Amino acid sequence: MGEFKAPQKFANKNRKFFIVSALANHAVVHVLNGAAHNEAQITVWSKDTHGHQDNLQWTLASAPDGGYWIQSAINPNFVIHQLGANSDNAGAITLWDRTTHGHQGNCRVNFHDRGNGYYSIEFVHSGKNVHVFGATTHDNTAINQWDWVDQDNLKWKFQAVDKKPKRDYKKPKKLAKTHKSFYLQSKLAPHAVAHVLGGAAHNEAQVTLWSKDTHGHQDNLKWKISEAGNGHYYIESVVDTNFVIHQLGANNENNGAITLWDKRTHGHQGNCQVKLNKLGDGWYNITFVHSGKGLHVLGATTHDNTAISQWDTVDQDNLKWRFIKAYH
């Protein structure tokens, strides 16, 4: 990740960044509960576990009345602001809509270079600075304003959001000839990929959703693809490529379970083989040969360990997948 040595230079360029505390490299400014609205609370959270979420990411814009707006990546109309426009130490910091109050000094900030790539963030109205209360870095630690003192809980750096992996494989049929590893990413969210629960490859090992942003280095989140003949394919676990995605029980039921199975014993069966149905822009439906039903995310949610099962193919994002380059 690159750091913005002079954050002002990146105003109005729509570049997303983390606001990282000098207390710890994982500790960043975030919007509690993930929704942008007036008085949404600003606290500390770990980018190592939730950095893929927009509520931990920000952009910067010049304010016409002087200073800068620090805008939430959820909705750039909502900016960091000091609630109540007071000058109190520990005065609360929240989001507010700049389209109604952006002219006020409690919605605008300036930056002061404190050395080594760190800056203080000062409110125009009070001259006080964004600070981590209590100098701790636990998730949900309060962030508020305070007089400037030379302490790490008042120093911040601006770190570009890392967008790896940088490309996807638009043609998985060609990928089958290279046998490179990839993530099988749901269209529901960039971090949400298919994974082998428990990390071991064996018959009936459960296939569920997990975040590649927290566990993408592990082989149980990575896959390979190979030809099964007749235009059909195996999707193989990198843990052991003999074990492939398969529909448990070879049934035609919606919500039929998806697990691993050893293709050396059952690879000839249609419930171990899939078809790739191109949807455009790198997205595919992945359907089982035996049932014609598609690989799908149950409930269309992206929490870790959400079930992956088979379902009738309908035009919904929880049945759309792409093949993303895996990082190590």
> 245-301, pLDDT tens digit by residue?
999 999 999 999 999 999 999 999 999 999 999 998 899 999 999 999 999 999 999
Residues 248 and 188 in one domain: yes
CB-based contact 214:254 (threshold 8 Å): no
* Statement: residue 47 has pLDDT above 50: yes
256 lies in some domain: yes
Residues 13 and 41 in one domain: yes
Residues 175 and 317 in one domain: yes
54: helix, strand or coil: helix
Residues 99 and 174 in one domain: no
Residues 145 and 265 in one domain: no
Residues 131 and 15 in one domain: yes
Which pLDDT belongs to residue 165? 44
Residues 54 and 185 in one domain: no
Nearest to 61 by CA among 108, 13, 12, 18: 12
Mean pLDDT along residues 91-113: 97
Q: Which amino acid, residue 207?
A: V
189 lies in some domain: yes
Specify the CATH number for the domain of residue 74.
2.80.10.50
Last residue of some domain: 108, 125, 160? 160
73 lies in some domain: yes
CB-based contact 102:79 (threshold 8 Å): yes
Residues 250 and 220 in one domain: yes
Residues 261 and 156 in one domain: no
15 lies in some domain: yes
252 lies in some domain: yes
Number of domains observed in the structure of the chain: 2
1 lies in some domain: no
Which pLDDT belongs to residue 163? 53
The DSSP element (H or E) to which 295 belongs, if any, is strand 294-297
Cα gap 84→91, rounded to integer Å: 8
Q: Is the dihedral of CA 245, 246, 252, 257 positive or negative?
A: negative
Last residue of some domain: 135, 160, 185? 160
Which pLDDT belongs to residue 13? 85
Residues 203 and 262 in one domain: yes
Last residue of some domain: 117, 133, 160? 160
* Statement: residue 234 has pLDDT above 80: yes
Domain extent for 172: 168-325
Residue 215 phi, psi (nearest 5): -130, 20
CB-based contact 182:323 (threshold 8 Å): yes
Residues 153 and 181 in one domain: no
Q: What is the mean pLDDT of the chain?
A: 93
Residues 156 and 278 in one domain: no
pLDDT above 90: percentage of residues in the chain? 82
151 lies in some domain: yes
Model pTM score: 0.56
128 lies in some domain: yes
Between the CA of residue 162 and those of 53, 63, 166, 201, 320, what are the distances in Å? 12, 26, 9, 30, 24
Cα gap 272→276, rounded to integer Å: 13
Q: What is the pLDDT of residues 156-197, one digit of tens each?
A: 999 988 654 446 677 888 899 888 999 999 999 988 999 999
Cα gap 160→93, rounded to integer Å: 23
Which pLDDT belongs to residue 1? 47
Cα first-last separation, the chain: 16
**Residue 149: CB partners within 8 Å, gap ≥ 6?**
none
